[in-house]
Amino acid sequence: MKKLEPNLEDIEIELLIEGVFRYSGHDFRNYAPSYLKRRIQTFLKSEGLANISALQERVLHDRNCLERFLLSLTINVTSMFRDPSFYVAFRNEVVPLLKTYPFLRIWHAGCSTGEEVYSMAILLIEEEIYHRCRIYATDFNEQVLQKAKTGIFSLKLMQNYTRLYLKAGGKKSFSDYYTAAYEHAIFRNYVRENIVFSQHNLATDSSFNEFNVILCRNVLIYFNQTLQNQVHKLFYHSLCRFGVLGLGRQESLIFSPYQDRYQEVVKGEKLYRRVE
C-alpha cells in the first residue's frame, strides 16, 4: 500500500502557528483548520508573499507584520443588536432573574470592536439595572479593544443599528444614546461608564472573576472541539450557580462535557442557566 504523502501546506501552517505561539504567546493551535487556512491564504495575498514559509519568516522578524497577522486572525464580524431575538429573549427571560441580585458582573468574552457590548449596556439601562452592573469586555487583540474603548462608530451604520435596536425590543429613540459629529457617532458617557475593556485570551488565560452572566457569541465556531471543551470548562467555573451563559446562533452546549449542568432558558436562543 502506497504511503500517503503529508500535505506541505498543512505542515507549513502547523509550523507557522507553533512559531507564533512560542514567540508571542498567542495560541491558535486549536482553531478550526479550515478557518486558519482561509485566513492565512487571504493574508498571504495581502502581503504579496509566495508561500507560508515566507510568511513565517516575516512574521517572526517583523513586529508590525506580526500585529497585522494577529489582527487578520481576529473574528471581527459583528454589529449592534446582532440576532435581535436573542436580545428580546434576554430582556424578557433573563433580566427578571438578574433583578434579584444586588450587584451584577457580566463577562463579554471575545468582544471584538464592542458593538454587542454597547448593545447590552443599552438594554440594561432601559431595564434600570445598569447602575448596579459591571461589564467586563475582553478580547485577545489589543487593536480591536482600543477601537471598542472609544465607543466611536461610523454614522452610516446607525440607520441599520437603529432598525436592529427596534427589532430587539428597544424602548426609546436609539439616537438618545450617542452624539453625532463628523460622520461618526460616539456613545454617551453614561453608556460607557460601567464597561471595563481588557485583554484576555480564551485559548491560554484562566478565569479572573465569578460572573452572573457570560456572553460569548459567534466565537466558539472558530475553535476545534478540544478548545471548545476547554473554553466551556472556563465558562462553567467562572459562572455562579444559576448564572446565565449566552452563545451564538450556530453554537451549542450539545456534546460539551457540561451540557447536563445547564438548562435552556429560551428554546432556540442559546441562553442557558447553570443549575449544578
- pLDDT, tens digit, 9 for 90 and up, residues 85-117: 999 999 999 999 999 999 999 999 999 999 999
Q: Which three cell numbers stand for residue 167?
A: 427589532
- CATH class of the domain defined by 84-274: alpha beta
Q: Give the predicted TM-score (pTM) of the model.
A: 0.87
**Cα dihedral 99, 253, 204, 6 in deg (nearest 10):** -160
> Does residue 1 surpass a pLDDT of 70?
no
The b/e string for 23-49 (b: 16+ C-beta within 10 A; e otherwise) is eeebbbebbbeebbeebbeebeeebeb
Q: Could you tell me if 222 and 247 are in contact, meaning their C-beta atoms sit under 8 angstroms apart?
A: no
Domain limits, CATH 3.40.50.150, in the chain: 84-274
User: What's the grid cell of residue 213?
Assistant: 452572566
204 pLDDT tier (thresholds 50, 70, 90): very high
